Amino acid sequence: MEFFDQPYYRTGKNVTRLIGRWPYQKRWESKIYSFVIVILFNTQVIGQILGLIVYFDDNEIILELISPFMIDIIMSAKFLNFIINIKTMKKLLDRLKENCSLQTKEEEKNILDEYAYSGQLIVYGYIIAVYITTSVFIIEPLISKWINLVLQLNETVLNKYPVTIYYYEIDMEKNFTLIFCYESLCIFAILTITVANDSMFIIFLQHACGLFTVVGHQLKNLPKNYNLNKVSNNDKGSTQTKDIHYDYYIMCIQNHKRAVEFANLIEDLYVWSFGVVIAINMPLMSVTAVQLMTQADTIQKKIKYSMFACTQMMHLFFDCYLSQRLSDSSVAIQEYITFSKWYGMPLKMQKLITMVTLRSQIPCKLTAGKLVILSMETFGVFKTVEIYMSYFHAYRTIALGTYSYDTSSLGESFFAPESERNPNFRNFRGITEKI
């Protein structure tokens, strides 16, 4: 069985192959898959641009189209990042395979397996969350039709697409079912780009954390006897003196260097795609918050925008949290050295310990465009700024009166705006106009 066909890496490999960016797949296969993804992506974007032109005077549709365009930019950046840095990705995969083969002790292999298994669970959870949210986003326009059919309301429900699109020379009403299915396929294909990108990021980062933990385990469990060992040379019939324990510590330093280099390669692979994600994420969440405050006039829309906002927050948290784990794993080497009883080692080994300690004081960091360090502190700052921006844009939208409720699609009170379901509900727009 091929190394990357193991359960730990199989999912990441398969989704990356689906977009044609797996470094080891055949060239013709890569070109075909990439061509299909590009076609689906471009047809969706063209439809959104034409929809923006046709419905340019509708403020509600304009606001709905902002988020998809931002997501398209993020997906483009991630896909181009895979294309441009395909050699770096292949180097990471080669290093991953090599690092696993270099571990000879069962304890060290188990450590890497535990981190790989944790990465596998994170990948599964991430994929499920992304595709469930996408499914809710897609079927939201159909809920009104289903309710109208089940409850036999006999009301006219307008056809609506998940993302507003338009194609010239095509009857959008007559071919609604066909176009709806094709657009759903395009959306899932576009989301597969981010699934592939982030799945490989999880695999690489978990392996890097595992490498630092292995080094820490080796440093913590240094041999207790530091005497010189005599090794016989059978070829020449002589006896040489060799410090096996000193060589063991040299091996620890080499493993630490290998872990640092692997972390730096992750930074090289994702630095610019992270820059685009962070730059777009803040306005994207602000727009979604405005939609949740001003356009969520039915239960299904509230669920749709809430899940969309939670997914965006989860994506940002996911990047910052995993990057924080890498930093913590790299600086934890100092603690392992402290527990290794370094004070009882020979002087030449203590000098080596000083070198490793000084290097481990510099954490391995992942950055967004080499400007912003991804960490939990960064996540807290972004979350606070996004909340303030969301409230500002929501107030500005309501104050300018750019939104009005439309309840013609459903007559039932359960799916009516909150102002109709609750007589005590205050219409912020009316209050703002009075002020």
Query: For position 238, what pLDDT does the model report?
Result: 47
- Looking at the predicted structure, is the pLDDT value of residue 107 above 70? yes
**Tens digit of pLDDT for each residue in 165-174?**
999 888 888 8
Residue 12, both tokens? 């990441």
Question: pLDDT class for 149, splitting at 50, 70, 90?
Answer: confident
Q: Across residues 84-99, what is the average pLDDT?
A: 94
- Looking at the predicted structure, is the pLDDT value of residue 85 above 80? yes
Distance CA 41, CA 158 (A): 26
**Tens digit of pLDDT for each residue in 213-249?**
999 888 887 766 555 454 545 555 444 445 677 788 8
Query: For position 422, what pLDDT does the model report?
Result: 42
Query: For position 272, what pLDDT does the model report?
Result: 92
Residue 52, both tokens? 């923006």
* Between 291 and 84, residue with greater pLDDT: 84
Question: pLDDT class for 23, splitting at 50, 70, 90?
Answer: very high
Residue whose C-alpha is closest to residue 36's, from 18, 23, 22, 24: 18
Q: What angle do CA 11, 257, 263 make, to 5 degrees?
A: 35
- Asked which of 180-184, 188-192, 287-291 is least confident by mean pLDDT, the reply is 287-291
Q: Are 14 and 130 in contact (CB under 8 A)?
A: no
Residue whose C-alpha is closest to residue 268's, from 365, 391, 148, 392: 365
Query: For position 76, what pLDDT does the model report?
Result: 93
**Tens digit of pLDDT for each residue in 313-332?**
888 888 999 999 999 999 98
Q: Across residues 257-281, what is the average pLDDT?
A: 92
Residue whose C-alpha is closest to residue 288's, from 427, 389, 140, 180: 389
Distance CA 3, CA 114 (A): 16
Question: pLDDT class for 412, splitting at 50, 70, 90?
Answer: very low
Q: Across residues 97-104, what is the average pLDDT?
A: 89
Distance CA 101, CA 294 (A): 56
- Looking at the predicted structure, is the pLDDT value of residue 264 above 60? yes
* Between 293 and 182, residue with greater pLDDT: 182
Q: Across residues 15-29, what is the average pLDDT?
A: 93
Query: For position 261, what pLDDT does the model report?
Result: 94
User: Which residues, at least 6 apart from 82, have a Cβ–Cβ distance to it below 8 Å?
Assistant: 16, 19, 21, 89, 196, 197
Mean pLDDT computed over every residue of the chain: 81
Q: Are 316 and 281 in contact (CB under 8 A)?
A: yes
- Looking at the predicted structure, is the pLDDT value of residue 411 above 70? no
- Report domain extents, the chain: 3-224+242-284+298-381
Query: For position 415, what pLDDT does the model report?
Result: 40
**In which region does residue 169 sit, left (phi positive, over 0), alpha (psi from -120 to 50) or beta (all else)?**
left
Cα 24 to Cα 77, 85, 88, 89, 94: the distances in Å are 22, 14, 13, 11, 11
- Asked which of 72-76, 385-389, 417-421 is least confident by mean pLDDT, the reply is 417-421
* Between 225 and 118, residue with greater pLDDT: 118
Query: For position 394, what pLDDT does the model report?
Result: 53
Q: What percent of the chain has pLDDT over 70?
A: 80
**Phi and psi of 229, rounded to 5°?**
-115, 135
Q: What percent of the chain has pLDDT over 90?
A: 40
**In which region does residue 369 sit, left (phi positive, over 0), alpha (psi from -120 to 50) or beta (all else)?**
left
Residue whose C-alpha is closest to residue 65's, from 336, 231, 282, 288: 288
Query: For position 388, what pLDDT does the model report?
Result: 55
